[in-house]
Amino acid sequence: MAEFIQSIPVWGVTLTLGAFALGTWLNKKTGMAIFNPLLLGSIFVIVFLSLARIPLEDYQERVSFLNYLLLPATVSLAVPLYEQWQILRKNAVAVLCGIAAGSVTSMVSIIAVGWLLRIDPVISASMMTKSVTTAIGVEVAQELGGIGSLAGSVIVLTGIVGNLSAAALCRICRLRDPVARGVAIGTGSHAVGTAKALQMGPVEGAVSSVSIAVAGVLTAVICPLLANFLP
């Protein structure tokens, strides 16, 4: 079965899109936030590869070009940014301070957990970029001596958790200001969380889009400095 599937040139892309489409259908059918399309799609792909006994490396090779779509997908978030430009300009200082605080807190928390649990520095380095988009996070993690595949997995998991819990956490923390909510979601859970922010409102989506870019730049600059404090 594995040989037959691998003989199909586009089997990897078909599997990826099909798994995501099925996850989206189940999400709409159930109406439950926990059935996140990205989470379900990832599970479907893992199960399929395991049952068909197809090596992960073969799957990654067939879908590698999809990674190049991450950058234009991120750039497309400039649309809500343009639409809410006046609000962003008015709150520029608060937004930048919030993003900086959130980015530093994210990285320092990983260092603290690493020291507390005596985690291997390689693992900690792979997790330090968990709150930025994959295109930036994986590259920075590898520069720090981390494992790229682990960094990518942690980033995706962080985004999914942020997407699922964003609305509930905003209610629990009584975070009602749309600008503040956008900063928190974008800084903490990058593009996957921003998808939820766009559903919550146009201002949340625009601010979250800005937060992705700024948090990515700050992480790329600050992370190598903070990495010196890894256990």
Condensed to tens digits (0 to 9), the pLDDT of residues 35-73 reads 888 888 889 999 998 888 888 888 888 887 777 777 777
* Band of pLDDT at residue 2, cut at 50, 70 and 90: low
**What is the CA 125 to chain-centroid distance, rounded?**
17
Condensed to tens digits (0 to 9), the pLDDT of residues 121-160 reads 999 999 999 998 887 888 899 999 999 888 988 998 898 8
Query: Residue 1: its pLDDT value, please?
Result: 64
Taking a C-beta distance cutoff of 8 angstroms, is the pair 181, 197 a contact? yes
Helical pair 202-226 and 178-200, crossing angle rounded to 10 deg: 110
Task: Please give the C-alpha separations between residue 126 and each of 54, 76, 134, 231, in angstroms, as whole numbers.
Answer: 26, 27, 12, 13
Choose between 76 and 19: higher pLDDT. Answer: 19
Taking a C-beta distance cutoff of 8 angstroms, is the pair 137, 70 a contact? no
Condensed to tens digits (0 to 9), the pLDDT of residues 69-94 reads 777 776 776 777 777 788 888 888 99
Task: Please give the C-alpha separations between residue 59 and each of 62, 151, 159, in angstroms, as whole numbers.
Answer: 5, 18, 22
Task: Please give the C-alpha separations between residue 130 and each of 40, 97, 156, 214, in angstroms, as whole numbers.
Answer: 20, 20, 8, 15
* Band of pLDDT at residue 110, cut at 50, 70 and 90: very high
Is-above-0.85 flag for pTM? no
* Percent of the chain that is helix, strand, coil (3-state, to 5): 85, 0, 15
